[in-house]
Amino acid sequence: MVKVGIDTIAFYTSHYSLDLTHLATVRGVDSDKFSIGLGQQQMAVPPPDEDVVTMAANAALRALRSVDASSIEMLLFATESGIDQSKAAGIYVHHLLGLPARCRVIELKQACYSATLAIQLALPFLRQHPDKKVLLIASDIARYGLGTPGESSQGCGAVAMVLAANPRILALEPEYGVITENVMDFWRPNYADNAFVDGKYSSRLYLNMLEKSWQQYADSSGRGFADHDYFCYHAPVPRLVEKAHQQLAKINRHEKLSEQVLSQQVGYSLEYSRKIGNSYTASLYVGLTALLDLAPDDLADKRLGFYSYGSGCVAEYFSGVIQAGYREALDTQHHQDMLAQRVALSYPEYEAFYSFKYPEDGSYCKMPSYQTGLFRLASIKDHKRHYEKVS
């Protein structure tokens, strides 16, 4: 069977961030609540002229830099921060990138899980058409409300992946475990700008679904914990991932992992998430990007375990093997520079970004100009968003 998987991967986030020690001071809480209790350091904050489309286009432009765009016949856009109830956000990205007209475009939604479903949808197509490629983008903005319990885990980011036969980075394996249950741990009605979450309940579900999806995966693959070298998790907050990984080891009858082993197996994958917060559909793949960029050892031929969780809920466990020469297809320096060059917001600046309102009556709004990538939201008029390339 022909190998299929991730050929290129690129990550993008806002040029603005809020340090959580600063937020802790404003909220009158101990900063350890965020840095230790959540394992979080900063949150990425989008300015008014940045949305899921601009983040997606900026990530995708980097992912396509070594790819013949004419080979892209499908664009899958995973998000739970959609900008329209009808038109797929991917259509805007398709236009901004100048992709071929012969290209399927669709938007997928199921909380933080839909990018994983997009991968599974793409793989049979690639096996049948090994000369074609699929562009998969996960892009989201996590919002819970000023002063709410979830505020400190807010963030934003996008990951773009080119999926292909004979991939340069990661070959995905066919076995998986998946489970769906109708629960209300996290949701956002159409009329709400911010998400609602039952945090403790959601954390319990995250751990329960990990065990159930892992057991299916282990039964179908015949693999155990020790057959995986590194692990990537959807990361609502990094501390939950560390707790989940300890539970996965316990499920597999391992003693409690030492801090050194825990850091080796999941630590690198959490480094970007600590700096940007939750990015919903992109979160798991932000973790993969961080692992590939930051792990000092050569990861060629190493097997990765992936846990994807979307509230509401759908959970899936699957795996992949990193390919020889993978580093040549990475964008590590660009990611490092992007994070290093971010602007730290004051609390009033953060609140102003957060509280900015787009018109809902069809009136004209020219977006204030902030630092973005190569694409930005320029204006809204007659209920239509207009994007532009940044010179």
Catalytic site positions = 80, 112, 234
Query: How many residues appear in the chain?
Result: 391
CB atoms within 10 A of CB 295: 17
How far is 349 from 357, CA to CA, in rounded Å? 15
**CB contact at 8 A, 49 and 77:** no
Phi, psi of 372 (to 5 degrees): -130, -170
Largest CA distance in the chain: 61
Only one residue has tokens 């807010």, namely 154
Q: Residue 210: left (phi > 0), alpha (psi -120 to 50), or beta? A: alpha
Cα-to-chain-centroid distance, residue 102: 27
Q: Computed from CA positions of residues 212, 76, 122, 134, in that sequence, does the dihedral angle turn out positive or negative? A: negative
Q: Is the peptide bond before 313 cis (omega within 30 degrees of 0)?
A: yes
Q: Which of 363, 391, 356 is nearest to 50 (CA)?
A: 356
Q: Which of 280, 216, 210, 193 is nearest to 246 (CA)?
A: 210
Q: How far apart, in Å, are the Cα atoms of 330 and each of 7, 13, 118, 338?
A: 9, 17, 21, 14
Only one residue has tokens 């998946």, namely 178
